[in-house]
Amino acid sequence: MDPTPISNTFLAEIIEATPGGGALLTCLQCGSCSGSCPSGPDMDHSPRKLFALIRAGEREEVLKSNTPWYCVSCYSCMVRCPKEIPITDIMYTLKNKAVQENSYEDKDAPDWSKSFVRYVEDYGRSYELGLATRYHLTHKPLKKTSLASFGLGMLTKERLSLRPEKIKNIDQLRAILKKAKTLEGA
Amino acid sequence: MRYGYYPGCSLSHSAKPYGDSIQSIRTPLDIELKEVEDWNCCGATEYVALNKTAAFALVGRNLALGSQEGFETLVTPCSACYLNLKKTDHYMGKFKDLDKKTNEALAAGGLSYKPGSLKVRHMLDIVVNDIGFDKIREHVTRPLEGLKVASYYGCLIVRPEFEEFFDDPELPTHMDKLMETLGAEVVDFSMKTHCCGGHMPQISTDTAYSLIYGILNEAQKNGADLLVTICPMCQLNLDAYQAQVNKQYKTKFNLPILYFTQMMGLAFGASEKELGLGKEFVQAAPALKKIGTAVEKAQEKPKRRKRGDKTLPMPQKKVEVKYG
């Protein structure tokens, strides 16, 4: 790895927060990631371009980008990257930072993640019915009338539970998560 | 064989047929699954988007509980759970700082986990590698002859490549062999490891439907009667949103999406109810009527290439399967 200290603070920050993130310094800008990305066409910056922006220290532009939020975590780029950069994990780092700094512009994906996490923290298990209704009724419900038939289908086929399941030792889980949050960035 | 079992949240709800069919094939194949006591959600792809340390600690609790119960192997049927469990174990072993923080958080709940103490494996891995095709073939009482299937893996079982991975990340073939062992005909399927869209149907339907369309279109073009999957998320996306995809792309896809364990159960002679069949949005019953309708094909002689034929010679697949 480059022995000289990284003068670009944003780049250093991303590397620091990502396990194995140092590989980002070796990015060749070959574009294998962008070419492999299934949701690339919907991103405002392709993954390759986003890495160029990080290396150029364009903090604001990167943290408001929808690119990390359109990452579907398929790891296709990660197995193809010739420099073995943990691309999906870098996307998670960018999501974490955008949430901490409230800098994302498109709210749908972050809100979905937050609703999901809330159920996990309350019950220890995910709860599909509660999650879907809570999220969709507050996010453009009128555009989602087709989801009503989906929900009804799930219910009649007994594929949705009417009440959430709670784990027995939820207090233990909450204590672990509480402690973990104090260690984030520590 | 006895394994620690981590079913994941979907198996009791949206992917109940997957859970039911696993229970059905478990007995004949002598697979003992002991559920990890009081396991919690793996966080899917959502928790890690908000807070990495907490996300690894969330998964770490499951690993800690599993190793505390004395399991050596932890089996999960869900590809997202598989990835999260395996990734946490792998990253804790590889990155000391992550290991330290995760264990510090676990200690707040009186738990700890030593990376490497559990081997995380997917149900498909157990079926094809521990049980094996020969033993599976012995249990086939109702060969799935006449049925053309596309085997669909999705992303998270084949990627990323952590050590000791059992199949190819771009072109895996174990499920193809399994389906052939059950008597089904496997069609070529170049989309087998393409993404189903994950949580995208909730966030951007345009992105999600275009991915689902690509997968269904390729399967239909290659003559598949149905798709076989190994992941609850893939099943849900391809099945439950197929009608919306048809509307958006003006297509008439009618492709049932079944779990590989349902296919195994069918070939083992289990009842449809036992396998949770009929709970899919795109009903599988019409396609499953094809089972047993295969006409014995006369052994074709290899054709001589015509003079002046400029096409490339293609390899011919030979399949020999004997049951019982």
Domains annotated on chain A, with CATH = 9-100 (1.10.1060.10), 108-183 (no CATH)
Looking at domain B2-123, which CATH architecture does it have?
A: Up-down Bundle (1.20)
Mark which residues 115-174 of A lie under 8 Å from B by CB. 116-117, 120, 124-126, 128, 132, 135-136, 146, 149-150, 153-154, 157-161, 165, 167-169, 172-173
- Please give the average per-residue pLDDT across B108-132, as a whole number: 97
- Please give the average per-residue pLDDT across B55-61, as a whole number: 98
For chain B, give every residue range classified as CATH 3.40.50.11810: 141-288
pLDDT of the residue at A131: 81
Residues of chain A neighbouring B211 (CB-CB closer than 8 A): 38-39, 72
Q: Which residues contact B100 (CB under 8 A, 6 or more apart)?
A: none
How does residue B295 score in pLDDT terms, banded at 50, 70 and 90?
Answer: low
pLDDT of the residue at B318: 60
Mark which residues 53-112 of A lie under 8 Å from B by CB. 69-70, 72-76, 78-79, 88, 92-93, 95-96, 99, 108-110, 112
Q: Does A183 sit within 8 Å of B48, measured CB to CB? A: no
Q: Does B279 sit within 8 Å of A70, measured CB to CB? A: no
Distance from C-alpha of B251 to C-alpha of B271, rounded to nearest angstrom: 32
Q: Kindly report the nearest CA distance between residue B59 and chain A, in angstroms.
A: 10
Q: Does A88 sit within 8 Å of B160, measured CB to CB? A: yes
Partner residue opposite B108 with nearest CB, options A17, A146, A175 = A175
- Please give the average per-residue pLDDT across B251-280, as a whole number: 97
Q: Kindly report the nearest CA distance between residue B212 and chain A, in angstroms.
A: 11
**B24-47: pLDDT as tens digits:** 999 999 999 999 999 999 999 999
Q: Does B91 sit within 8 Å of A88, measured CB to CB? A: no
How does residue B323 score in pLDDT terms, banded at 50, 70 and 90?
Answer: low
**B145-179: pLDDT as tens digits:** 999 999 999 999 888 878 766 788 888 999 999 99
* A14, A33, A39: best to mutate for the B interface, most B CBs within 10 A: A39
The full 3-state SS of chain B, as one line of letters, equals CEEEECCCHHHHCCCHHHHHHHHHHHHHHCCEEEECCCCCCCCCCCHHHHCHHHHHHHHHHHHHHHHHCCCCEEEECCHHHHHHHHHHHHHHHHCHHHHHHHHHHHHCCCCCCCCCCCEEEEHHHHHHHHHCHHHHHHCCCCCCCCCEEEECCCCCCCCCCCCCCCCCCCCCCHHHHHHHHCCCEECCCCCCCCCCCCCHHHHCHHHHHHHHHHHHHHHHHCCCCEEEECCHHHHHHHHHCHHHHHHHHCCCCCCCEEEHHHHHHHHCCCCCCCCCCCCCCCCCHHHHCCCCCCCCCCCCCCCCCCCCCCCCCCCCCCCCCCCC
Distance from C-alpha of B213 to C-alpha of B190, rounded to nearest angstrom: 14
ipTM of the predicted assembly exceeds 0.90 = yes
pLDDT of the residue at A15: 96
Q: Does A175 sit within 8 Å of B44, measured CB to CB? A: no
pLDDT of the residue at B97: 95
Q: Kindly report the nearest CA distance between residue B121 and chain A, in angstroms.
A: 18
Paired residues of B119 in beta bridges: B73
Partner residue opposite A167 with nearest CB, options B15, B38, B95 = B38
Partner residue opposite A72 with nearest CB, options B91, B95, B198 = B198
Q: Kindly report the nearest CA distance between residue A61 and chain B, in angstroms.
A: 19
Residues of chain A neighbouring B91 (CB-CB closer than 8 A): 19
Q: Which residue of B has its CA nearest to A41?
A: B207
Residues of chain B neighbouring A150 (CB-CB closer than 8 A): 240-241, 244
| Residues in chain A where the model's pLDDT stays below 50 | none
Distance from C-alpha of B224 to C-alpha of B226, rounded to nearest angstrom: 5
pLDDT of the residue at B308: 82
> DSSP characters for chain A?
---SPP--HHHHHHHHHSTTGGGGGG-----HHHHH-TTGGG-SS-HHHHHHHHHTT-HHHHHH-SHHHH-----HHHHH-TT---HHHHHHHHHHHHHHTT--S--HHHHHHHHHHHHHHHHSS--HHHHHHHHHHHS-GGGGTHHHHHHHHHHHTT-S-SS----TTHHHHHHHHHHHHHHTT-
Q: Does A173 sit within 8 Å of B16, measured CB to CB? A: no
pTM to 2 decimals?
0.92
Q: Does A179 sit within 8 Å of B107, measured CB to CB? A: yes
Partner residue opposite A159 with nearest CB, options B14, B211, B244 = B14
> What average pLDDT does chain B have?
92
What CATH fold (topology level) applies to the domain B141-288? Rossmann fold (3.40.50)
Q: Does B104 sit within 8 Å of A183, measured CB to CB? A: yes
Q: Kindly report the nearest CA distance between residue A78 and chain B, in angstroms.
A: 7
Q: Which residue of A has its CA nearest to B240?
A: A150
Distance from C-alpha of B5 to C-alpha of B18, rounded to nearest angstrom: 14
For chain B, give every residue range classified as CATH 1.20.1050.140: 2-123
Q: Does A157 sit within 8 Å of B279, measured CB to CB? A: yes
Q: Kindly report the nearest CA distance between residue A7 and chain B, in angstroms.
A: 23
CA–centroid distance for B268 within its chain: 19
Partner residue opposite B104 with nearest CB, options A117, A135, A179 = A179
Q: Is pLDDT above 80 for B304?
A: no
pLDDT of the residue at A139: 82
The burial of B243, by beta-carbon neighbours within 10 Å (0-12 exposed, 13-18 middle, 19 or more buried), is given as: middle
